[in-house]
Chains A and B, each alone.
Chain A
Amino acid sequence: MKTVTIDPITRLEGHGKISIFLNDQGNVDNAYLQIPELRGFERFSEGRRAEDMPQITSRICGVCPVAHHFASTKTLDDAFNVEPPSTAKKLRELMYMGYIMYDHILHFYYLGGPDFVVGPDAPAPKRNILGVIEKAGVEIGKKVIKHRAYGQKITSILGGKATHPVCGLPGGISKGLDKEEVNNIKHMVKSSIDFAEFSLKLFDDIVLENKDYVDLIKSDPYQLDTYNMGLVDDNNKVNFYDGKIRVTDQKAKEYIKFDVKDYFKIIEERVEEWSYMKFPYLKDLGWKGLTDGKESGIYRVGPLGRLNAADGMATPKAEKEYKRMFETLGGKPVNSTLAFHWARLIELLYATERAEELINDPEITSKKIRNPVGEPDEGFGVVEAARGTLIHHYKLTKKGLIEKANLIVATTNNAGAITMSVRDAAKGVITNGKINDGILNKVEMAFRAYDPCFACATHTLPGGMQLQIDIYNNRKEKIKTFNQG
């Protein structure tokens, strides 16, 4: 048996590794994704002051600090039995929209999009933002950089610090907005709506007008028929900041809708000996292995998971685009992993429209932004990180210290689906032992679509980590381990 290893997966946080097992004919027997792990975050947090958690958890990962910050702050609201004033909730959500804006722009233009804009078979050094600028032009490049910065700026105006927010407090938020800041944000949001629409148009022109790309999106190796999960509002529309967690089935019908307080009744985590990552699944359906379909409890989160799990978008332009995507790709649910990119752009448009609603809300400048906290006990919090559902759960002592903490992060929720997508893509694109850069990139595309962030999925160190390569025989026995620096 010959083993091909793609290593590291370029352009992603942490050093993931894909191991592909070929049979004697040169076709793929199986492929696995393995991630090294950093341990001990839960233990690290024990005994710390609960109100420090929004700052501490935002340092788990340099990529989505805002998501952890607010998952944590909401957990503290619950743990201290306090409901924030409505202005505080709106300010938090507005800041959250800034985060979704810059994160989704970063992914589409810098990380995932180059595969389409420059082309999946283009040489690796061209499949990046520089290649995008070369192909699409300097003016588009300028727009990209400007609007990513706008998203970042909105979070820093509200968050108090450019890279790591310090504003979330149990029962509210530390800082309100003044008129000048409101006007500044209004200007940025207005321009960002246009940019989001422009991005969807670009996706139309470059991807949907290209038959090869549409065929690729619709092709079998990129389909996965799992359950879908996402946070929804009272009308079952996508919501990033608040709501109930909804799971829909293979026919897009509601399987269950639950409050985050019940997450441990609904979700179970599976440990596999070959992976450091845990694999969450729907408890009642049980673990059926890495397989999709109605009997398997594996589900997907993130942009496509959210759009599939909801009944629509709560803003008009995004709602129109939502309908168009499902009409174009053959109805709900859409199972194509590569459609994550399209879903991400629809969410970008939603985030800009929602930000506009919030910044125009007369209540946004109210000074009532914090309520007094109650007695500490146990708390649960959930937000939709850019990459999917993110759950925090703390038990507090009577003195308000952390007794126990548990986190289920977005990429962990997608662990089963990502692993299957990588395996299926490898099986689909590698035949008769023919392997080249373009073919391996098509395997990576299945992975990249999820925008996975292994820094927090397994608490992986950004930028460097020892790699372990495990080789298994056809009886799933580990026959060799390599350690590489």
Chain B
Amino acid sequence: MKESKKKTIILGIGNPILSDDGVGIHVIEELKKKKFDIPGITVDSAFTGGMNLLDMIVDHDRAILVDAIKRNDKKPGDVGVYPIGEVSAFHTTNPHDLSLPQAIDMAKRLGEKRIPKDIRIVGINLGELPTEFGENLSPEILNSIPKAVKAVEKEIKKDG
């Protein structure tokens, strides 16, 4: 595939041993299985808070974060694409660390110039929040993975 015009990072976020919480990581694994290999696009995953996320996305033109979200107006397994700040994604709002929007604000205040201009969240809406450790996803979240993968691919195609 031809090189992406924008230097991009696609980052799945979540806890891989906390069932549905880790859906972002599962989406990334699925993407990698499809040999999603475009020059200029990095595909990675993480389980961490805002400061480390910021470290991971700087020096890119565009960041696409894949994470679990919780919206009462959506059904479990619904997938949506949102600009950062519009939704509270699970792992961009870790209250022990800074949230990613706060980390970005801070970095800008300190004169950081390498923050991606375009940061979006591909959010998978969860149903019941996980209360038990495990590696299996609930059926509706498992079914949402192909939708989330398509959403990521669409984002990439849309802007090249």
Contacts and interface: CB of A to CB of B under 8 A. Distances in A.
Contact of A462 (B55, B94, B98): B94
Contacts of A59: 15-17, 47
Chain B interface size range: 35 or more
Interface string B113-155: 0000000000000000111111000000000000000000000
B46 to A, nearest CB: 5
A62 B15 contact: yes
B94 A40 contact: no
B105 interface: yes
Interface stretch (B2-10, B34-42, B76-84, B85-93): B85-93
A12 B106 contact: no
A142 interface: yes
Given A145-B107, A464-B70, A11 B96 contact: yes
A463 B105 contact: no
Contacts of B98: 110, 128-129
Given A130-B105, A162-B52, A464 B90 contact: yes
Contacts of A15: 95
B111 interface: yes
B30 interface: no
B95 A56 contact: no
Contacts of B93: 463
Q: Which among B15, B56, B96 has the highest number of chain A CB atoms within 10 Å?
A: B96
Given A130-B102, A130-B109, A164-B47, A62 B133 contact: no
A246 to B, nearest CB: 28
A306 interface: no
Interface stretch (A297-305, A396-404, A453-461): A453-461
B133 A133 contact: no
B94 A463 contact: yes
Contacts of B49: 62-63, 462
B133 A459 contact: yes
A63 B21 contact: no
A485 interface: yes
A142 B110 contact: yes
A461 B18 contact: yes
B90 A41 contact: no
B111 A462 contact: no
B66 to A, nearest CB: 15
A145 B133 contact: no
B52 A163 contact: yes
A41 B110 contact: no
Contacts of A56: 17
A38 B130 contact: yes
B96 A453 contact: yes
B51 A106 contact: yes
Given A13-B96, A453-B96, A464-B70, A138 B106 contact: no
B52 A152 contact: yes
B95 A141 contact: no
A461 B21 contact: yes
A385 B9 CA distance: 32
A303 B98 CA distance: 22
Contacts of B96: 11-13, 63, 111, 453, 455, 462
A149 interface: yes
Nearest to A453: B96
Contacts of A485: 70, 72
B20 to A, nearest CB: 10
Nearest to A37: B131
A148 interface: yes
Interface string A156-182: 000000111000000000000000000
6 contacts: A14-B95, A59-B16, A60-B17, A141-B110, A462-B91, A463-B93
Question: Can you list the 6 inter-chain pairs with the closest CB atoms, starting with the nearest?
Answer: A13-B96, A463-B90, A44-B133, A163-B48, A40-B132, A462-B94
Interface of B: 15-18, 21, 46-49, 51-52, 55-56, 70, 72, 88-98, 102, 105-107, 109-111, 129-134
Given A13-B94, A59-B17, A133-B109, 5 more contacts: A8-B95, A59-B47, A60-B17, A130-B105, A463-B92
